[in-house]
Amino acid sequence: MTAVYSKEAFGKNTTSEISDLRLKDILQKMPREIFIRNPRKAWTSVILSILMVGLGYFGIAISPWYLLPLFWVFTGTALTGFFVLGHDCGHRSFAKRKWVNNLVGHILFLPLLYPFHSWRILHNYHHAHTNKLEHDNAWQPLKPEIYGSLGGFGQWIYRQVRGWFWWVGSIGHWALLHFDWRQFQGKERQQVKVSVLVVLAGAAIGFPALFATVGVWGVIKFWLMPWLGYHFWMSTFTIVHHTTLDVPFTAPEEWHEATAQLAGTVHCDYPRWVEFLCHDINVHVPHHIASCIPSYNLRAAHQIIKENWGDAVKERRFSLALMKEIAQECHLYDENSNYQSFKTYHAKQSIKL
What pLDDT shows up at residue 353?
Answer: 58
Instruction: Check whether 3 has a pLDDT greater than 70.
Output: no
Instruction: Check whether 79 has a pLDDT greater than 50.
Output: yes
* Residue pLDDT, tens place only, 127-143: 999 999 989 988 889 99
Mean pLDDT confidence for 119-133: 93
What pLDDT shows up at residue 159?
Answer: 95
Instruction: Check whether 5 has a pLDDT greater than 70.
Output: no
Average of per-residue pLDDT values in the chain:
91
Q: How confident is the model at residue 8 (pLDDT cuts 50, 70, 90)?
A: very low
Q: How confident is the model at residue 348 (pLDDT cuts 50, 70, 90)?
A: confident
With H, G, I as helix, E, B as strand and everything else as coil, classify residue 267: strand
Query: What percentage of the chain reaches a pLDDT higher than 90?
Result: 79
Instruction: Check whether 155 has a pLDDT greater than 80.
Output: yes
**Is 257 or 229 the better-scoring residue by pLDDT?**
229
Distance between CA atoms of 148 and 214, rounded to whole angstroms?
Answer: 47
What pLDDT shows up at residue 53?
Answer: 98
Mean pLDDT confidence for 66-79: 98
Instruction: Check whether 20 has a pLDDT greater than 80.
Output: no
Long-range contacts of 267-272 (CB under 8 A, 24+ apart): 267/302, 267/313, 267/314, 267/315, 267/316, 268/240, 268/241, 268/315, 268/316, 268/317, 268/318, 268/322, 269/315, 269/316, 269/317, 269/318, 270/318, 271/318
Domain residue ranges of the chain, discontinuous segments joined by +: 7-135+163-324
Q: 157 Cβ partners below 8 Å, 6+ apart?
A: none
What pLDDT shows up at residue 15?
Answer: 32
DSSP conformation letters of 33-85: GGG---HHHHHHHHHHHHHHHHHHHHHHHHS-GGGHHHHHHHHHHHHHHHHHH
What pLDDT shows up at residue 259?
Answer: 85
